[in-house]
Amino acid sequence: MANFGNLSLALAFSFSIYSTIALFFGTQSGRREVVKSGYNALYAVLFFATCATVALIVLLARSDFNIEYVANYTNRDLPMFYKLAAFWGGQKGSLLLWTWLLALFSAIIAYRQRHLRGDFINYALGIMMLTSIFFLLLNKFVANPFDTLGIQHQEGLSAVPFTPRDGRGLNPLLQHPEMVIHPPVLYVGFVGFVVPFAFAMAALMTKEMGNAWLKITRRWSLASWFFLGAGILLGANWAYVELGWGGYWAWDPVENASLMPWLTGTAFLHSVIVQERRNMLKVWNVSLISATYLLCIFGTFITRSGIVSSVHAFAKSSIGYYFLVFLGLMAIGSAYLILTRLKYLKSENELDTLVSRESSFLFNNIVLLAACFAVLWGTMFPTLSEAIRGEQITIGPPFFNKINIPIGLFLLFLTGIAPLLAWRKTSGRSLRKNFLPPVAAGIIAAVALIIAGVRSVYPVMSFALCAFVLVTIVSEFYRGTAARIRATGEQFIEAFTNLILRNKRRYGGYVVHLGVVMMFAGFTGSAFNTETHAEIREGEQFTIKDYTLVCRKVEEGENPNFAYLRATLDVIKNGKQAYSLHPEKRYYFASEQATSEVAIKSTLKEDLYVVFSGMDENGGPAVIQAYVNPLVVWIWIGGFTLAFGTLLTVLPDAREVRFNRRKRELERMLEASEKI
C-alpha cells in the first residue's frame, strides 16, 4: 500500500506539471486540443491525489508501523476515530490533505466552468495547478507520508526495514472530537482562498478587470472565509475545553497565522460590494485577495518551519525554506501583475463624500489591515529581534490586547454605521432619522452599566456599541418588512420571511453582523472573569463567587489507551446541590504524556470551569483550579448565528435561480451542437 501511495504521488506530481504547461501554452498558442488535454490532466491529478489519500488512510487504519508516519502518530490501542484523524495530526499527512483539497477544488472549478470560453478560466486553472505542483513536490520529495522505518547498521549499507511493536500514539491534546473537525475545516478555508486569487491573477493576465472574476468566485470567497472563521472558532473552543487554562485565545503565533488571512478576507468581502455597486476599489480588491492568499501560505509556513514556538506548531523542519521561496515567488509575481495593470484597475467613479456607505467600507478595510499588521508584527517580532540582535524578545497577550481591543471596538462601531449610510451621499435629515434610535440605545446601555458599578472603560464601550449595532440591525429588518407590507399587503411574518428570502445577500449579511455582536458580548465578558485555587480532600469544600464546590470522591481507573484520576465535585448554589462535575487527570501510555480533562457547566450568564490538576504522590489533597467566566457561551452562539447568516448569503435568490436554469439549458444546447 505504501508503494501504491508513492506511485500515486509521483503520477499526481507529473500530471500537475503537464496540466500547468498545457493550460498556459495551449491558451497562448490557441491550440484547443492542448488545453483540453490540460483539463484531463487536471482530473488525473485529483484521481491520483485521492489514491494517495486513501492509501494513507488504509495504512493508518491497519496500524502499519513500518510506515514512519503511522508509527509516529498512532498506536494499537488508539480508537479508530483518532487513528483516522491522525491523517492530519502530523506535518506530512496534513500536507497531503492540503494537496487533495486543492486538487478537488481545481477539478470542481474546471467542471463547473467548462463552457466558459476564452483565456480567463484556463489561466486561473493554470495558477491553481502551479500551486498544486508546489505541494506535490513537498509531498513526494520533502515530506513523504509513505516513508518507511529502517535501521542503519553499517555505514555504506542500505537501511534494514524495521517495524516497531507499537506506535508512539497521537498527541493526547489532539484526542478530542473538536480536533478531529478543526484542522480539516481550517484547511478548507486556507485552500479555498486559492480560487479567488487564481481568478484575480487570471483577470490581470487577460486584462479583463470587470466584475466577471468576482461573480465567479463570490461563493468561493464567502465559503473560504466562513470555513476559515469556523476553524478558528473550533480551535478556540478546543483550547477552552481541553488545555485547562480557563481561556480560549492566547494570541499564540499559530492562532494568529489563521486570524491574519481571515482579517484580510473580511476586508475583501466588504470591498467587493463597492466594486460591484459603484465600480470602485479595484486595486484594493486584487491587492486584498493577493494578500489573503499569501497570508494563507505564510501561515502554513510559520506553522511548519519551526521559526515560532507554539503548542500548535509542528517540529522544526527544513520544509520552511521551500515555503519561503514559494511565498517570495508568488508575492513577486502578483505584485508585478498588479503594478503593470494599474491602468486597467482605474475606478469608474470617485468617492463623493466621507458620509457615505462607500467611505464606511473603505474605513473598514483600513482598520482591518491595521489589525492584521499589528498581529503580524507582534507574531514575528520575537523572530526578527533574535535575527537582528541575537536576543529573542517575547511579546505576549498584553501587547495584542492593547492594540487590538481599540481596533476591534472601532470595527464594531463601523459595523453599526454602514447600514445607516446611503450610497454616494447621505443627507443630514437621513442621518438624524437613522442614527437617533441606535445612538440612544448605546447611551442607555452605557449609563445602565455605570449605574450597575462597571467602571472599566472598554467593557462599557463594548456593551454600548453592541447595543448600538443590535438596534441598527433590528431597525434594518423592521424598515424592510414595513416597506414590504405597504407594497404587498402581506402579514408581518410572511413579509419578514419573503424579505429575507428575496434579498438573501443583504439580510444574510445583517445576520452575520448579529453573530458578530453576540461574539463581542462574549469577548467582553472576559473582563469580569474570576478564578481561585484550592487543595481539598474528600468531604472538604471551597467557594468561588456564588458557587460552593464539595469534593465528594476521587477515583482512579484505566482503559487500554490511558489511566485516569477523576474527582467528583458537588456544586451547591443558593443552598441547594445543583449538579456534579467530574474533572479528570489522564496519563496516556503510548506517548507517556499527562493531560487535564476540564469539567464545564455553561449557562447563558456564565460558565463554571473546573480543572483537576492532580494529587500529591503520597496521597495528598486534590489540587483544583476553578474559574467563573461570564458570557462565554455567547461566543459559540454568535458563531452559529454567523454560520447561519453566511449560509443565507451564499444561497441564490429567486432571480439567480431562474438565470442559472436558463444558463444550464444553453449549456446543454451547446453540448448537443458540439457533438453534431
Pair 143, 133 in one domain: yes
Pair 4, 25 in one domain: yes
Closest by Cα among 341, 338, 345, 343 to 279: 345
Q: What is the pLDDT of residue 68?
A: 92
Structure-model confidence comparison of residues 571 and 392, the more confident one: 571
- 18 pLDDT above the threshold of 60: yes
pLDDT tens for residues 442-478?
999 999 999 999 989 999 999 999 999 999 999 999 9
Look at the chain and report how many structural domains it folds into. 4
Percent of the chain scoring above 70 in pLDDT: 92
Q: What is the pLDDT of residue 425?
A: 80
Establish if 387 belongs to a structural domain.
no
Establish if 671 belongs to a structural domain.
no
Pair 114, 90 in one domain: yes
Q: Strand 576-581 and strand 584-588: pairing?
A: unpaired
Distance CA 57, CA 87 (A): 7
Pair 347, 469 in one domain: no
Distance CA 334, CA 134 (A): 17
Q: Look over the chain and give the mean of its residue pLDDT values, rounded to a whole number.
A: 89
Pair 289, 370 in one domain: yes
Taking CA atoms, 487 is separated from 32, 96, 482, 492, 505, in Å, by: 52, 55, 9, 12, 21
Contact 281, 275 (CB under 8 A): yes
Pair 76, 126 in one domain: yes
Contact 295, 261 (CB under 8 A): yes
Q: Does residue 610 sit in helix, strand or coil?
A: strand
pLDDT tens for residues 474-532?
999 999 999 999 998 889 999 999 999 888 989 999 999 999 999 999 999 999 999 99
Q: What is the pLDDT of residue 212?
A: 87
φ/ψ region of 539 (left if φ > 0, alpha if ψ in -120 to 50, else beta) reads left
Establish if 674 belongs to a structural domain.
no
Pair 290, 350 in one domain: yes
Convert 596-613 to b/e letters by CB count within 10 Å (16 or more is b): bbbbbeeeeebbbbbbbe
DSSP state of 421: S
> Predicted confidence band at 396 (pLDDT cuts at 50, 70, 90)?
confident
- Quickly tell me which residue has 473546573 as its cell: 610
Q: What is the pLDDT of residue 663?
A: 61
- 665 pLDDT above the threshold of 70: no
Establish if 389 belongs to a structural domain.
no
Query: Residue 200: which domain range?
Result: 177-377
Pair 312, 167 in one domain: no
Distance CA 178, CA 231 (A): 10
Establish if 384 belongs to a structural domain.
no
- 217 pLDDT above the threshold of 70: yes
Structure-model confidence comparison of residues 31 and 630, the more confident one: 630
Pair 408, 308 in one domain: no
- Quickly tell me which residue has 513577486 as its cell: 332
Taken in order 589, 176, 224, 407, is the CA torsion positive or negative?
Answer: negative
pTM across the whole model: 0.92
Contact 291, 304 (CB under 8 A): no
Establish if 669 belongs to a structural domain.
no
Written as one string, the DSSP assignment of 624-638 is: EEEEEEETTHHHHHH
Establish if 676 belongs to a structural domain.
no
Pair 193, 289 in one domain: yes
Taking CA atoms, 452 is separated from 434, 446, 447, in Å, by: 29, 10, 9
Pair 29, 118 in one domain: yes
Establish if 446 belongs to a structural domain.
yes
Pair 586, 484 in one domain: no
pLDDT tens for residues 276-302?
888 888 999 999 999 999 999 998 888
